[in-house]
Amino acid sequence: MPAGMRVGVLTGGGDCPGLNAVIRAVTRKGISVHRHEILGFRSGWLGPVEGLTTPLTLDAVEEILNRGGTILGSSRTNPYKIDDGIAKLKATLAEHRVDALIAIGGEDTLGVAEQLTHEGVPVVGVPKTIDNDLDATDYTFGFDTAVHIATEAIDRLRTTAESHHRALVVEVMGRHAGWIALHSGLAGGANVILVPEKQFSVDQVCDWVQQRFERQYAPIIVVAEGAIPEGGKELLLTGERDAFGHVRLGGVGTWLAEEISRRTGKESRAVVLGHVQRGGTPTAYDRVLATRFGLHAIDAVTEGDFGKMVALRGTDIVRVPLHEATASLKTVPLERYAEAEVLFG
Amino acid sequence: MPAGMRVGVLTGGGDCPGLNAVIRAVTRKGISVHRHEILGFRSGWLGPVEGLTTPLTLDAVEEILNRGGTILGSSRTNPYKIDDGIAKLKATLAEHRVDALIAIGGEDTLGVAEQLTHEGVPVVGVPKTIDNDLDATDYTFGFDTAVHIATEAIDRLRTTAESHHRALVVEVMGRHAGWIALHSGLAGGANVILVPEKQFSVDQVCDWVQQRFERQYAPIIVVAEGAIPEGGKELLLTGERDAFGHVRLGGVGTWLAEEISRRTGKESRAVVLGHVQRGGTPTAYDRVLATRFGLHAIDAVTEGDFGKMVALRGTDIVRVPLHEATASLKTVPLERYAEAEVLFG
Amino acid sequence: MPAGMRVGVLTGGGDCPGLNAVIRAVTRKGISVHRHEILGFRSGWLGPVEGLTTPLTLDAVEEILNRGGTILGSSRTNPYKIDDGIAKLKATLAEHRVDALIAIGGEDTLGVAEQLTHEGVPVVGVPKTIDNDLDATDYTFGFDTAVHIATEAIDRLRTTAESHHRALVVEVMGRHAGWIALHSGLAGGANVILVPEKQFSVDQVCDWVQQRFERQYAPIIVVAEGAIPEGGKELLLTGERDAFGHVRLGGVGTWLAEEISRRTGKESRAVVLGHVQRGGTPTAYDRVLATRFGLHAIDAVTEGDFGKMVALRGTDIVRVPLHEATASLKTVPLERYAEAEVLFG
Amino acid sequence: MPAGMRVGVLTGGGDCPGLNAVIRAVTRKGISVHRHEILGFRSGWLGPVEGLTTPLTLDAVEEILNRGGTILGSSRTNPYKIDDGIAKLKATLAEHRVDALIAIGGEDTLGVAEQLTHEGVPVVGVPKTIDNDLDATDYTFGFDTAVHIATEAIDRLRTTAESHHRALVVEVMGRHAGWIALHSGLAGGANVILVPEKQFSVDQVCDWVQQRFERQYAPIIVVAEGAIPEGGKELLLTGERDAFGHVRLGGVGTWLAEEISRRTGKESRAVVLGHVQRGGTPTAYDRVLATRFGLHAIDAVTEGDFGKMVALRGTDIVRVPLHEATASLKTVPLERYAEAEVLFG
């Protein structure tokens, strides 16, 4: 058997359920099948810059498949924004005789990966975005878990809304893309779903809310954190100022609950799900997808197919150029939103 | 067989997982064993005041055991604060030939129940408080579900905290009593638990947070919504004013996350769980407790043992005078808090 | 607005989480957008044969989205195998002035749907198979839920296996296709996965089991109920005879646990998950897929595009001829099995 | 501060969710508050007999609170049944300078603990039985988790039973005591609950089943594995013989499903939950109870209060003599069974 390679792995950006499943799959197949050595870099791109390493052995990846977060830690470090960042990074790779890197991350992490490829650092990417907003892949892991958690919350909130004849506004993640709102709203049977892709009319929302009350049910409104009312973001400005003296932007969920209450005279409450959406054990769907991504990424490395990232197309794992990952944001198409809209009210 | 009675049932106050299990048990045993007729009153005490009724047949209580909320709806109406409230209530009971009432609710609802008893309305109470703050019973249903939901959230937040080396503050329910914070904090392995029963020192909290970071773990702080920093509630006042011109009280969780961040220099985030804690399917524990409460309440009615409420003592369901329910708030004793405190840091 | 149609809906074959989500989506969009009347037929094809109907109004489909099973009931009735079955069915449709049918079901149900199309009954199909073995669609609803439940069970069994140094064999659904075993095995980190598509060598299984024990971990073996050992099904015959005098076929899970125990000398236990895999609330993934299937099916009916069924391709819902549904069984391709096999041991 | 003690900890018998929570609480309080050293013995009583140790440091007990099983492993070894077992055990304790033991286990493990106490080995016990059948404590940890898992399964099975108009028999744990059947049956709304404490009449069961079908619902029958039909265990004998030539006892669940089918002519299926009931993450309730048991056990050790075990009485943790743990089995009292029986049919 030919001697294997020495492969570095890192996770960058916000954490996401399924990261550990990728790390495990890369490590297990890398060691057992390809006879590579696998070296973990800690804290995203900071790891190769500062030489923060941790060995990834078979034992190190036991019992991590169903754990959220990332055993490697993460950061938002961009080596191009650090003095001598790239030189240090290359020195670390040389020192540890690393033949190739697997970078698991979102737009930013993969953007760095692509730049590095052009400078001769052999990298394979694994896409990660809990928001599902990467255009080059049908789905990314973590998204299904986030939708699952938001849906469970909506299920719970429905019974409390009904008991008190209240409107409940649920704010979910999604600054630029409304996928989590769309899918959790569909799954939870929301009566209104609001996404960043389309400014919403508060009047229209109140109409749907009223319709629902008239049918003797309580309305659930799911709103992505990045959704904007007609009239613009300025409506969300609060009087408060933050430490820098900037006037704070209030959360759209809380704002909307107050507007609904004011306009319809009905009790209304907001729940902001926040960080619970990105933590904890991944769903089975995400574990399978993340595992398959890891298995295919280590194959790409072994074949020397660099500058690529793995992606899901239908039921297949394929490889696409890294620059596709960052080319354009995958937002919710208006026809997908329209598909859901018929269920409002 | 002697003719049965006509028994009214209502649910008052905030909703709580397990209410439907009580209604089902009362109805099934009432009809099948005691040959009573069971009549539901809708929207708490508003139901008997305004004559809002719904028949509770065997079919009506199928498939509700595992549903959150209450099929009868709820309200915070106090008939003593409505013009002619008591007269109307008595008229409704007479009109529907109701022989006795079962009132399921917390301090307020049971307080009304007790007053009515003194005026000759035969009532049996079933205690309900998601906060577990009724002194007359070991536990109330709904509490276990709230603790379960908060614990799941803490489990999820732990992995995201670890991945980003962040402190995470989780604000849970509990305005006057810290039971949910204490139990979910213990169950989730929180590194700090803060309760309304004891003002907290932010310095001390930051010490525990630092200790945790020094051991290379990320701290989780569970704080009851009613917890107050040393220095008093005023610290929580924000600059903002509400619709009435009052300066708003900020949430303690958000405030504390900012303080930790400011003092320790570590990233810190807050999650406010809110209404998800009181909705959705009850845990098995709560379904059993609520079912047993219902079975015993209808027995008390049948025996004419009015002015009492059912309560849990050890593994037994007993009856205690209604006024015990409202005599004193069951807060977390300092020795129970001290028991948990040894696990902080 | 033009007068709408009268559309019948039925669910056939084994139940599957997500059926109610389809029924709800068909009904809501049918009524609100297309102004159709929707008529439910109960108990699969028996409904239109015997005239068992139930109206599907907006209220009838409230609160069913997150419920397992089917509010219409199901059966395995084939109208072609009933005397005058087709004549009766046509008579029922005529009597109730049904313009078109939506048939939700698997191979058998859709096979009948296709035959009826050739006889002039306008039908649109919605594919349903918990086993994910329909070739014409990337995934079917119910499958993700089954995988989710099996994965949760594997997670639970792992800790008990480790504590007792035991092998645990988990038998999951899948008589002819190993999809549930493959996906839940991957998601649960199974150390061996056995599928009907490939006869397994007990020696090889025991090798993997031993490897695992040697690394001081406890092995989990996931086996599809239709998996067959080398040597053939006859190995699974028990001494027992059933009511008809036939010698019974034992379950492969129980048999394999005993073989592992006998050959390796290690304790081994079997768990047969059974019907829990197909019941209860659907996952968010399945609710979204089922809802989208329903929305598109009622569109196809409205457009008069009969003899088709809806299907998932990538992230799109498309229409394919009904006969594709039944053309060939989608089994696990050997390369997908090989992809997973590198993680065994 | 006075020098602390050296305290050994072991877990014996079947695994149970919550064991790790006890180990963690003992270790954290032992080290942080009492300045003890904590030494883990692996594999139950085999550990001190053969000198299998593992240090329990603060780091060793991080991240185990929410994990099922026991990080110490378990066994059913009885040192009194091993040649020189007690001598070896004492030698190990002497060699490692162990001042006291905490034994976490059920009747057998605590029985050994009590015998050892009489021979001068200082032991404190922590009761563990998933079956809740220890008389000296209101509840034991693990029980709530088992009930939770069984209840979730019943919830899932109900929808599939309804869709197919089938009877579903669910066999749960409980060889000698019916607590899991009673509580999960109550929580799941079972239509019949059968426990070992009372032989059941198949005729009576079929009556309840028929009643249920007549009301157009599907019956769920929860049966403890140790339940026995009138006529005795012999009815459960199958034709098959095991490796030792003994005729095998069939499972009561499977047998009963066939009897129901045969006598009522209705389809009937059995599901045997098995080991899933004892694995995986503990419920919040069990984590709190197990943590409190651990905290109080290490206090008892520190105070030199040996020959005792900790126990739950109401909401208090108390200490009772070890022999009480093994004095009598806590079975379901007939009045508790009667309380539930009114909900049958």
The domain that contains B288 carries what CATH number? 3.40.50.450
Is C184 part of the contact surface with chain A (CB cutoff 8 Å)?
A: yes
Taking alpha carbons only, the member of C119, D286, A256 closest to residue B186 is D286
Residue B335 counted as domain residue = no
Q: Specify the 3-state DSSP secondary structure of A241.
A: strand
Residue A327: band (very low, low, confident or very high) from pLDDT cuts 50, 70, 90:
confident
Q: DSSP characters for D55-122?
A: E--TGGGTT-TT--S-TT------GGGSTTHHHHHHHHHHHTT--EEEEEESHHHHHHHHHHHHTT--
Chain B hits for A67, CB-CB cut-off 8 Å, are 159
Nearest by CB: A147 against C24, C59, C284: C284
Question: Chain A: nearest CA to B303, how far in angstroms?
Answer: 31
Same domain, D267 and D164: yes
- Rounded percentage of chain A residues whose pLDDT exceeds 70: 97
Mean pLDDT within D247-260: 88
- Between CA B99 and CA B96 the distance in angstroms is 9
Chain D hits for C278, CB-CB cut-off 8 Å, are 160
Touching B (3+ Cβ pairs <8 A), the chains are: A, D
Residue C160 counted as domain residue = yes
Same domain, C251 and C286: no
pLDDT confidence of residue B1: 41
Residue C342 counted as domain residue = no
| Binding-face residues of A in 19-38 toward C, CB within 8 A | 24-25, 28-29, 32-33
Mean pLDDT within D110-138: 95
pLDDT confidence of residue C1: 41
Question: Hey, are the CB atoms on B66 and D155 less than 8 Å from each other?
Answer: yes
Is A250 part of the contact surface with chain B (CB cutoff 8 Å)?
A: no
Residue ranges in chain B whose pLDDT is less than 70: 1-3, 239-246, 248
The A6-11 sheet, strands edge to edge? A53-55, A37-41, A6-11, A100-105, A123-127, A308-313, A316-321
Chain B hits for D287, CB-CB cut-off 8 Å, are 151, 186-187
End-to-end CA distance of chain A: 64
Q: Do residues A123 and A101 make contact, with C-beta atoms less than 8 angstroms apart?
A: yes
Q: Do residues B219 and B189 make contact, with C-beta atoms less than 8 angstroms apart?
A: no
Q: Please tell me whether A277 is known to bind a ligand.
A: yes
Residue D131 counted as domain residue = yes
Beta pairing, strands A316-321 & A308-313:
antiparallel
Is D69 part of the contact surface with chain C (CB cutoff 8 Å)?
A: yes
Chain A hits for B157, CB-CB cut-off 8 Å, are 275-276, 279-280
Helix, strand and coil percent figures for chain B, each rounded to 5: 45, 20, 35
Question: Hey, are the CB atoms on B189 and D66 less than 8 Å from each other?
Answer: yes
Nearest by CB: B162 against A69, A156, A239: A69
Question: Hey, are the CB atoms on A157 and B275 less than 8 Å from each other?
Answer: yes
The D192-194 sheet, strands edge to edge? D192-194, D220-224, D167-172, D268-272
Question: Hey, are the CB atoms on D159 and C280 less than 8 Å from each other?
Answer: yes
Q: Do residues A344 and A191 make contact, with C-beta atoms less than 8 angstroms apart?
A: yes
Question: Hey, are the CB atoms on D156 and C162 less than 8 Å from each other?
Answer: no
Nearest C-alpha in B relative to A68: B159
Q: Tell me the β-bridge partners of B127.
A: B105
Is B156 part of the contact surface with chain D (CB cutoff 8 Å)?
A: no
Same domain, D11 and D32: yes
Residues present in chain C in total? 345
Active site residue D84: no
Is A316 part of the contact surface with chain C (CB cutoff 8 Å)?
A: no
Is B158 part of the contact surface with chain A (CB cutoff 8 Å)?
A: yes
Q: D131, D133, D144, D286: which is the annotated catalytic residue? A: D131
pLDDT confidence of residue A233: 87
Binding site members of B for diphosphate: 14
Is C95 part of the contact surface with chain D (CB cutoff 8 Å)?
A: no
Question: Chain B: nearest CA to D172, how far in angstroms?
Answer: 15
Residue D149 counted as domain residue = yes
Is D259 part of the contact surface with chain B (CB cutoff 8 Å)?
A: no
Same domain, D153 and D256: yes
pLDDT confidence of residue A253: 96
Nearest by CB: B271 against A159, A168, A274: A274
- B115-135: pLDDT as tens digits: 999 999 999 999 999 999 998
List b or e across A318-333, with b for residues whose CB sees 16 or more CB atoms inside 10 angstroms: ebbebbbbbeeebbbe
Which has the higher per-residue pLDDT, A343 or C329?
A343
- D83-108: pLDDT as tens digits: 999 999 999 999 999 999 999 999 99
Instruction: Select from A250, A279, A308 the last residue of a domain.
Output: A279
Question: Hey, are the CB atoms on A156 and B73 less than 8 Å from each other?
Answer: no
Residue A191 counted as domain residue = yes
Is C310 part of the contact surface with chain A (CB cutoff 8 Å)?
A: no
Nearest C-alpha in D relative to C274: D271
Same domain, D97 and D176: no
Is C160 part of the contact surface with chain D (CB cutoff 8 Å)?
A: yes
- Choose from B26, B339, B341 for mutation: most chain D CBs within 10 A: B339
Question: Chain A: nearest CA to B335, how far in angstroms?
Answer: 31
**Active-site annotation of A, residues:** 131
Question: Hey, are the CB atoms on B275 and A68 less than 8 Å from each other?
Answer: no
Tokens of D18: 């919550």
pLDDT confidence of residue A291: 98
Residue A333 counted as domain residue = no
Nearest by CB: A68 against B160, B239, B271: B160
Chain A hits for B240, CB-CB cut-off 8 Å, are 238-240
Nearest C-alpha in D relative to C68: D159
- Between CA C295 and CA D195 the distance in angstroms is 47
Same domain, A150 and A64: no
Same domain, A167 and A89: no
Instruction: Select from B279, B297, B315 the last residue of a domain.
Output: B279
pLDDT confidence of residue A1: 41
Is D154 part of the contact surface with chain B (CB cutoff 8 Å)?
A: no
Chain C hits for D19, CB-CB cut-off 8 Å, are 163
Question: Hey, are the CB atoms on B147 and D62 less than 8 Å from each other?
Answer: no
Same domain, D201 and D154: yes
Quote the domain boundaries for residue B154.
143-279
Q: How far is CA C238 from CA C206, C234, C242, D23, D244, in A?
A: 22, 9, 10, 44, 16
Residue A321 counted as domain residue = yes
Q: C-alpha dihedral over A271, A276, A281, A287, to 10 degrees?
A: 80
pLDDT confidence of residue B225: 96
CA C140 from centre of chain:
8
> Can you give the pLDDT of all 345 residues of chain C as single tens digits?
456 999 999 999 999 999 999 999 999 999 999 999 999 999 999 999 999 999 999 999 999 999 999 999 999 999 999 999 999 999 999 999 999 999 999 999 999 999 999 999 999 999 999 999 998 999 999 999 999 999 999 999 999 899 889 999 999 999 999 999 999 999 999 999 999 999 999 999 999 999 999 999 999 999 999 999 999 988 888 766 666 677 767 799 999 999 999 999 999 999 999 999 999 999 999 999 999 999 999 999 999 999 999 999 999 999 999 988 777 889 999 999 999 999 999
Question: Hey, are the CB atoms on C287 and A186 less than 8 Å from each other?
Answer: yes
- Between CA C160 and CA D111 the distance in angstroms is 23
- Choose from D29, D34, D65, D318 for mutation: most chain B CBs within 10 A: D65
Same domain, B185 and B245: yes
How many structural domains is chain C composed of? 2
Nearest C-alpha in B relative to A241: B239
Question: Hey, are the CB atoms on B164 and A271 less than 8 Å from each other?
Answer: no
Same domain, B66 and B163: no
Same domain, C111 and C51: yes
CATH number at residue C187: 3.40.50.460
Is C213 part of the contact surface with chain A (CB cutoff 8 Å)?
A: no
Is D92 part of the contact surface with chain B (CB cutoff 8 Å)?
A: no
Question: Hey, are the CB atoms on B276 and A157 less than 8 Å from each other?
Answer: yes
Is C128 part of the contact surface with chain A (CB cutoff 8 Å)?
A: no
Question: Hey, are the CB atoms on A276 and B157 less than 8 Å from each other?
Answer: yes
Tokens of C85: 């079955």
Instruction: Select from A239, A264, A279 the last residue of a domain.
Output: A279
Same domain, A80 and A159: no
Q: Which helix (H) or strand (E) holds B24?
A: helix B19-32
Chain A hits for B168, CB-CB cut-off 8 Å, are 275
